[in-house]
């Protein structure tokens, strides 16, 4: 089946006919993208405003709104995965009704539109991490560096070990899927936690810096674990040279960026001053951010890691305050696509206990959720030499798995390592940790440092902070 499909795919993509089909469908793909974006923006704005009214972080509202418009409920934003076809998509049904497409063309439009929205969401998380990098103070991150490393290591080792051993002992899961599921518990979602921290005005607090630093480090550690486990699943043995390569490249990448910051941001300021045409700040900044993201991807780490490093570097640039203002509307437009699609892709129907085949998964899910929460909660007590630090806030801040956990679930199910109950359990773990962390983080931190409702023109406390000059 797979071989036959590969051949057919090769044949299809090599014939000029496909290009013709794509050219004819181009305006309809654009229609689909535009309508999807309208739905995503409406959902994100409604969700954020409702959450704000109930005193929840807006990002939680965006996620819930994403779940509502996604595969779990309204079927407006869905993707061709998990057996879903264009017939399941309300937007495709609308396009079909307007354009009277053939089933072939409709499937092709659905695939293209989903691809574009997926990449826009990925650009959204890249811009989000770039903005977070810009907002992070490099010197402060250096101060909490050791603390962040310890927190990250504890937060990787504890859930990985407890998850893997627990699955093998309690549920008699075979070793390789158990290791894979354990690995899926390792990586904290920096995106969600950072946005909540930013909303609470705590991104630059010691706790915030440790969480973000540790999340970056355990992202790297998590991806190394994923690469190792994925190659373990393929070959049956750990590829030592690959492990060494990944560890070395990740280290060189981040430390190299921090060391280059001093040199590069002078060059950047000089370039910006030379340019006389429109976009003289924003275009060089995004050339750098996208190139670093590409580099992160190219050396088999993650694009978001490169974007974050780019933000850290430009954070020390002279044009920083102006750049912050210019990146804001771009982030406002791209970041909601990421959060809404994360919600939209999460299929809550796998939580339904009425369906018998979900029950085995539910037990595993409950176990994984407990390990995921407790395994990260303990990290707060790994911080040393800081008696008055808010340990529970650090632990809670490390809990959400978000997009990174979904990457694990996606690769695990694509490679066939994970069976259905285990895959479903990882998704449930991702959803619950993502949904639980923001309100608990809010409770752990108490009230925001600056009340978010002080002024309608400055709804974001973190951005108010940023407009103040650096001491």
Restricting to residues 94-123, which ones interact with a copy of itself according to CB under 8 A?
A: 98, 102-104, 107-108, 111-112, 115-116, 118-119, 122-123
How many angstroms separate the CA atoms of 303 and 362, rounded? Answer: 33
Alpha-carbon distance of 342 to 431, in angstroms, equals 9
Total Cβ atoms within 10 A of residue 409:
25
Q: Residue 286, interface with a copy of itself (CB under 8 A)?
A: yes
Give the contact letters, 332-351, x = binds to a copy of itself (CB under 8 A), - = no: xx--x---------------
| Nearest one of 59, 152, 56 to 398, comparing CA atoms | 152
**Of 179-238, which residues contact a copy of itself (CB under 8 A)?**
none
By beta-carbon proximity to a copy of itself, the closer residue of 115 and 318 is: 115
Which residue, 296 or 397, has its beta carbon nearer to a copy of itself?
A: 296
Q: Which is nearer to a copy of itself, 356 or 416 (CB)?
A: 416
- Report if residue 279 touches a copy of itself, rule: CB under 8 A: yes
**Is 410 strand, coil or helix?**
helix
**Three-state SS for 389?**
coil
Contact with a copy of itself (CB under 8 A) among 149, 291, 378, 419: 291
Residues 6+ apart with CB under 8 A from 145: 213
Between CA 435 and CA 51 the distance in angstroms is: 13
Q: Is 459 in the site for a copy of itself (CB under 8 A)?
A: yes
- Considering beta carbons, is residue 77 or 126 the nearer one to a copy of itself? 126
* Runs of H (alpha helix) within 202-239: 206-235
Does residue number 357 form part of the binding site for a copy of itself (CB under 8 A)?
A: no
User: Looking at 100, 172, 237, 276, which residue binds a copy of itself (CB under 8 A)?
Assistant: 276
Establish if 11 lies at the interface with a copy of itself (CB under 8 A): yes
Toward a copy of itself, which CB reaches closer, 107 or 392? 107
- Minimum Å gap between C-beta 128 and a copy of itself is 12
- Site residues (CB under 8 A) for a copy of itself, limited to 412-441: 414
Select from 74, 374, 386, 410 the one that contacts a copy of itself (CB under 8 A).
410
φ, ψ of residue 56 in degrees (nearest 5) = -95, 160
Which DSSP letter does residue 140 get? H
Q: String of b and e for 108-144 (b: at least 16 CB within 10 Å)?
A: bbbebbbebbeebbbbbbbbbbbbbbbbbebebbeeb
Token pair 């993502």 is found at 434
Q: Using the rule CB under 8 A, is 54 a contact of a copy of itself? A: no
Q: Are 368 and 429 in contact (CB under 8 A)?
A: yes
Closer to a copy of itself by CB, 65 or 151: give it: 65
Q: Residues 73-92: x/- map of binding to a copy of itself (CB under 8 A)?
A: -------xx-x-x-------
Determine if 58 is a binding residue for a copy of itself (CB under 8 A). Answer: yes
Nearer to a copy of itself, 111 or 378 (CB): 111
For a copy of itself, give the closer residue by CB, 9 or 260: 9
Q: Give 42 or 378: the residue with its C-beta nearer to a copy of itself.
A: 42
98's CB contacts (< 8 A; 6+ apart) are 31
Alpha-carbon distance of 226 to 190, in angstroms, equals: 17
* CB-count exposure of residue 203 (10 Å: 0-12, 13-18, 19+): buried
Smallest distance, Å, CB 372 to a copy of itself? Answer: 23
- Residue 33 binds a copy of itself (CB under 8 A): yes
Burial 36-53 (b: 16+ CB within 10 A, else e): bbebbeebbebbbeebbe
Which CB sits closer to a copy of itself, 23 or 240?
23
Residue position matching structure tokens 């911080």:
383
Q: How far apart are the first and last CA of the chain?
A: 64
Report how far Cα 114 is from the mean position of its chain's Cα atoms: 17
Using left for φ > 0, alpha for ψ between -120 and 50, and beta otherwise, residue 83 falls in left
Among 100, 237, 241, 456, binds a copy of itself (CB under 8 A): 456
> At its nearest, how many Å lie between a copy of itself and the CB of residue 373?
28
The length of the chain is 471
Identity of the residue, 17 or 468, whose beta carbon is nearer to a copy of itself in the bound complex: 17
Among 162-170, 210-218, 275-283, 343-351, which window interacts with a copy of itself (CB under 8 A)?
275-283
**Binding status of residue 294 toward a copy of itself by CB under 8 A:** yes
Residue 354, helix vs strand vs coil: coil
Q: Which of 252, 453, 467, 470 binds a copy of itself (CB under 8 A)?
A: 453
User: According to the binding rule CB under 8 A, does residue 269 interact with a copy of itself?
Assistant: no
Member of 247, 411, 436, 464 binding a copy of itself (CB under 8 A):
411
# binding residues, a copy of itself (CB under 8 A): 96
Looking at the Cβ atoms of 24 and 357, the one nearer to a copy of itself is: 24
């Amino acid at each position: 089946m797979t071989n036959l499909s590969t051949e057919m795919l090769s044949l299809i993509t090599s014939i000029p006919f496909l290009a013709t089909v794509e050219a004819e469908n181009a305006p309809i793909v654009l229609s689909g993208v535009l309508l999807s974006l309208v739905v995503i923006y409406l959902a994100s704005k409604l969700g954020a405003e409702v959450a704000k009214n109930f005193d929840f972080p807006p990002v939680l509202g965006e996620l819930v709104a994403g779940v509502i418009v996604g595969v779990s409920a309204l079927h407006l934003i869905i993707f061709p995965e998990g057996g879903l076809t264009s017939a399941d998509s309300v937007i495709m049904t609308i396009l079909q009704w307007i354009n009277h497409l053939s089933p072939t063309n409709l499937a092709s439009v659905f695939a293209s539109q989903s691809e574009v929205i997926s990449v826009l969401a990925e650009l959204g998380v890249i811009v989000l991490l770039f903005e977070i990098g810009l907002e992070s103070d490099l010197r402060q991150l250096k101060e909490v560096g050791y603390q962040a490393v310890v927190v990250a290591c504890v937060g990787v080792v504890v859930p990985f070990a407890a998850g893997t051993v627990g699955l093998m002992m309690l549920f008699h899961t075979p070793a390789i899927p158990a290791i894979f599921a354990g690995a899926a518990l390792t990586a904290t979602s920096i995106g969600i936690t950072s946005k909540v921290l930013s909303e609470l005005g705590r991104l630059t607090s010691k706790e915030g810096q440790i969480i973000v630093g540790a999340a970056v480090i355990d992202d790297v550690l998590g991806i190394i674990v994923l690469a190792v486990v994925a190659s373990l699943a393929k070959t049956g043995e750990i590829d030592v040279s690959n492990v060494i390569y990944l560890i070395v490249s990740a280290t060189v990448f981040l430390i190299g960026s921090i060391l280059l910051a001093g040199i590069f941001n002078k060059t950047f300021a000089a370039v910006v001053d030379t340019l006389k045409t429109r976009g003289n700040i924003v275009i060089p900044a995004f050339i750098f951010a996208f190139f670093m993201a590409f580099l992160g991807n190219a050396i088999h780490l993650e694009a978001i890691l490169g974007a974050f490093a780019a933000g850290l570097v430009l954070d020390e640039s002279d044009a920083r305050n102006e750049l912050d203002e210019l990146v804001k509307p771009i982030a406002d437009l791209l970041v909601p696509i990421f959060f809404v699609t994360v919600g939209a892709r999460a299929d809550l129907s796998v939580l339904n206990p009425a369906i018998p085949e979900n029950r085995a998964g539910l037990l595993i899910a409950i176990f994984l959720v407990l390990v995921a929460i407790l395994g990260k909660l303990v990290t707060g007590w790994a911080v040393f030499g800081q008696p008055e630090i808010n340990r529970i806030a650090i632990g809670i801040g490390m809990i959400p798995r978000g997009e990174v956990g979904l990457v694990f679930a996606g690769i695990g199910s694509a490679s066939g390592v994970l069976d259905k109950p285990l895959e479903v359990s990882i998704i449930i773990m991702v959803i619950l940790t993502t949904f639980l962390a923001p309100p608990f983080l809010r409770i752990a931190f108490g009230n925001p440092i600056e009340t978010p409702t002080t002024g309608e023109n400055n709804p974001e406390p973190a951005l108010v902070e940023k407009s103040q000059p650096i001491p």
